[in-house]
């Protein structure tokens, strides 16, 4: 009975507490976040389309991944713009939705009318354009959603009185937790849809597969519709709240300030705006120039600009809070900057292990579902431990969990299948490994987001979200650069996977060693983590 009581107590604190803290006002930003999660609807289709119809190397795709991640560094000026245009920030969601819809429309045309699209410019150029448009749209929506999470937390209780500080902090943490849940939950919905839609795909003729790919991109048009619905709902809820506060005796002017203005007015920051203008000009200019080392120059320039912006914002915090945020950012940046395997690993799984669309969609379902479960399983762990401990745990866990994939390359599945009568084959190992690894997916980000929501100056919430997101998302660009370099050293092409094992070992060792170095530097510099 004692065990049952403990389990119930854990479940109550971990899951039911979220339900008790849930507010209807949380739904609009959650809808925008969910749209970001649903964006993965076309990921499997995209993998097979690129592999089968576009002659692009693994190194080129890694380089494209760098450019795709660059717009996320634009969260810095966009976030500040959200603070400046707080009352009208919904307009950025509409603009982002239009860009996402345009990206999807390109792919719909490329799959459905390849000849007509090819007559205008090559299919690979259309694909690159589509890949670049979508992240600009998503980053706009994400910056607004971050700001919406702040205003979604009620400042007044049911009686119209200010919410106490302890409750406010708990509600902010819940809001950020639910934001991750919404993103991953969108991924779960996508995975379920893919499992259903890809059922029996291996038996389809090529024309039928193409028709299925087209249908998925058409279904993906629900993504911009979902985010737009979120801001429309936010507007309706604000009107309802205004009527409630009016009935409680608040003046119309006070209600307008409470619902449509930040707690403190934001003044334009010339450093952020000017630095961002330089960043955009640098990125576009070098990107169009074709300069051989353009990516490296852009990354170095971006890093310098964002670091400078961070230094300006850190002055808005107390010295202790500034050291905490800086140490947290460094550790998370390093963890997210670790290189990956690149597209070649996916091609190998398709060609050698015979993982088809249906099986990959099942792996995605396992990943998204258990990642969502991991947010609940590790909720107390995230709340009670520093980022340093969390990252060390993740580094060791992901290193161990990378070993089965390495084993698959060297024939582990052949030995296990022979020993178990074919039960423990490549698919069995892939499923088991995915199930163990998936719960760790979002653990590192929640503490930092909650810390910003609670501790950043009230008039600069969106700016802090955006700058820190720009810094940590720039790490993903660094990751893509590292992936590109490794794919140039260990060359992998379709049907040629001899060097994939060495690539896996290199990625594993880098992922194990580099985070320890970063944490050591943070400690030596006297910094702390949230």
Angle at 58 between CA 52 and CA 61, to 5 degrees: 90
pLDDT score at 264: 63
Q: How far, in Å, are 34, 46, 91, 184, 476 from residue 100 at the CA level?
A: 14, 15, 14, 19, 20
Domain membership flag for residue 15: no
The CA distance from 42 to 216, in Å, is 7
Predicted confidence at residue 265, as pLDDT, reads 64
Q: Report the alpha-carbon distance of residue 478 to residue 481 in Å, rounded.
A: 5
Establish if 178 belongs to a structural domain: yes
Could you give the angle at which helices 426-437 and 412-419 cross, rounded to 10 degrees? 110
**CB-CB contact of 95 with 105 (8 Å):** no
Report the distance separating Cα 144 and Cα 127, nearest Å. 27
Task: Give the pair of three-digit tokens for residue 262.
Answer: 């930040």
Could you please report the per-residue DSSP string of 372-438?
HHHHHHTHHHHHHS-HHHHHHHHHHHHHHHHHHHHHHHTTHHHHHHHHTTTSS-HHHHHHHHHHHHG
* Rounded Cα gap, residues 11 and 87, in angstroms: 39
Distance CA 376, CA 423 (A): 31
Q: How far apart are CA 203 and CA 85, in angstroms?
A: 53
Helix (H, G, I), strand (E, B) or coil at 199: coil
Residue-range definition of the domain harbouring residue 193: 27-524
pTM, two decimals, is 0.71
Considering the domain boundaries, does residue 431 fall inside one?
A: yes
d(CA 96, CA 137): 4
Domain count along the chain: 1
In a domain, residue 8? The reply is: no
Please give the pLDDT value at position 87.
77
SS3 at position 300:
helix
**Dihedral over Cα of 481, 486, 488, 493: its sign:** negative
The C-alpha atoms of residue 486 and residue 343 are separated, in whole angstroms, by: 12
| 9 located within any domain | no
- The CATH code of the domain that includes 195 is 1.20.1250.20
Query: How far apart are the C-alpha atoms of 449 and 513, rounded to whole Å?
Result: 26
Per-residue pLDDT of the chain (530 residues; tens, 9 = 90+): 577 777 776 666 666 766 676 777 888 889 999 998 888 888 888 888 887 778 777 778 877 888 887 787 677 677 777 877 777 888 889 999 999 999 999 999 998 888 899 899 988 889 989 999 999 999 889 888 888 887 777 766 666 677 777 777 777 777 877 887 888 888 888 888 888 888 887 777 888 888 888 888 999 999 999 999 998 998 888 888 788 878 777 777 777 776 666 666 667 777 777 777 777 777 777 776 767 778 888 888 878 877 887 787 778 778 887 888 788 888 888 888 889 888 888 888 888 888 887 788 888 777 777 777 776 677 666 666 777 888 888 888 888 888 888 888 898 888 888 888 877 888 887 877 776 565 565 555 566 666 665 566 666 666 676 677 777 778 888 888 899 899 999 988 877 899 999 999 999 999 999 999 998 998 888 776 76
On whether the CB atoms of residues 172 and 453 are closer than 8 A, the answer is yes
Is 424 inside any structural domain?
yes
The backbone torsions φ and ψ at residue 262, rounded to the nearest 5 degrees and listed phi first, read -70, 165
Instruction: Give the alpha-carbon dihedral of 46, 51, 56, 59, to 10 degrees.
Output: 90
Which CA distances in Å does 376 have to 23, 242, 369, 379, 382?
Answer: 18, 34, 11, 5, 10
- Residue 99, class by beta-carbon neighbours within 10 Å (0-12 exposed, 13-18 middle, 19+ buried)? buried
Q: Is residue 21 part of a domain?
A: no
Report in angstroms the alpha-carbon separations of 144 from 179, 320, 325. 13, 28, 22
Kindly state the tokens that stand for 113. Answer: 């009318």
**Is 241 domain-assigned?**
yes
123-152 vs 75-84: helix axis angle to the nearest 10?
A: 40
Whether the Cβ atoms of residue 353 and residue 408 lie closer than 8 Å to each other: yes
Question: How many helices and strands in the chain, by DSSP H and E?
Answer: 25, 0
């Amino acid at each position: 009975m004692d065990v049952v009581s403990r389990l119930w107590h854990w479940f109550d604190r971990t899951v039911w507490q979220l339900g008790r803290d849930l507010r209807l006002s949380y739904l609009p930003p959650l809808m925008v976040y969910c749209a970001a999660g649903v964006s993965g609807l076309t990921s499997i289709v995209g993998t097979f389309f690129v592999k089968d119809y576009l002659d692009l190397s693994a190194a080129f795709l890694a380089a494209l991944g760098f450019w795709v991640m660059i717009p996320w560094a634009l969260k810095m000026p966009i976030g500040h713009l959200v603070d400046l245009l707080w009352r009208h920030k919904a307009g950025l969601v509409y603009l982002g939705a239009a860009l996402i819809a345009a990206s999807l429309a390109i792919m719909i045309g490329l799959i459905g009318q390849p000849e007509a699209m090819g007559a205008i410019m090559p299919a690979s150029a259309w694909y690159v354009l589509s890949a670049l448009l979508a992240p600009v749209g998503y980053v706009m929506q994400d910056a607004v959603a971050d700001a919406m999470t702040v205003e979604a937390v009620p400042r007044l209780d049911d009686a119209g009185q200010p919410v106490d500080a302890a409750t406010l902090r708990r509600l902010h943490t819940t809001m950020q937790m639910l934001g991750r849940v919404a993103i991953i939950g969108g991924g779960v919905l996508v995975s379920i849809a893919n499992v259903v839609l890809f059922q029996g795909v291996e038996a389809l003729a090529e024309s039928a597969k193409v028709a299925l790919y087209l249908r998925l991109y058409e279904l993906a048009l629900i993504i911009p519709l979902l985010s737009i619905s979120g801001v429309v709902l936010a507007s309706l809820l604000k009107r309802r709240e205004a009527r409630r506060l009016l009935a409680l005796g608040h003046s119309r002017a006070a209600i307008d300030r409470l619902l449509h203005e930040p707690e403190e007015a934001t003044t334009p920051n010339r450093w952020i705006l000017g630095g961002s203008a330089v960043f955009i000009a640098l990125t576009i200019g070098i990107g169009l120039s074709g300069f051989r080392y353009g990516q490296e120059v852009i990354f170095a320039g971006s890093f310098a600009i964002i670091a400078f912006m961070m230094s300006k914002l850190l002055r808005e915090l107390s010295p202790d809070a500034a050291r905490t945020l800086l140490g947290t950012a460094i550790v998370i940046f390093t963890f997210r900057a670790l290189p990956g395997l690149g597209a070649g690993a996916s091609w190998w799984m398709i060609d050698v292990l015979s993982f088809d669309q249906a099986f990959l969609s099942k792996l995605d379902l396992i990943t998204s579902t258990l990642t969502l479960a991991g947010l609940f399983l590790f909720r107390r762990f995230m709340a009670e431990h520093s980022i340093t401990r969390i990252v060390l745990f993740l580094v060791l866990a992901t290193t161990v969990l990378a070993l089965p994939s390495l084993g698959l390359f060297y024939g582990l599945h052949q030995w296990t299948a022979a020993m178990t009568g074919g039960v423990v084959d490549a698919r069995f190992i892939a499923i088991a490994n995915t199930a163990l690894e998936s719960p760790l997916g979002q653990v590192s980000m929640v503490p930092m987001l909650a810390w910003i929501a609670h501790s950043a100056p009230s008039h600069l919430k969106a700016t802090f979200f955006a700058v820190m997101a720009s810094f940590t998302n720039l790490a993903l660009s660094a990751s893509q650069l590292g992936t590109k370099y490794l794919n140039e050293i260990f060359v992998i092409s379709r049907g040629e996977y001899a060097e994939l094992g060495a690539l896996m070992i290199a990625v594993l060792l880098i992922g194990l060693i580099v985070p320890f170095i970063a944490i050591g530097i943070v400690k030596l510099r006297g910094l702390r983590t949230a």
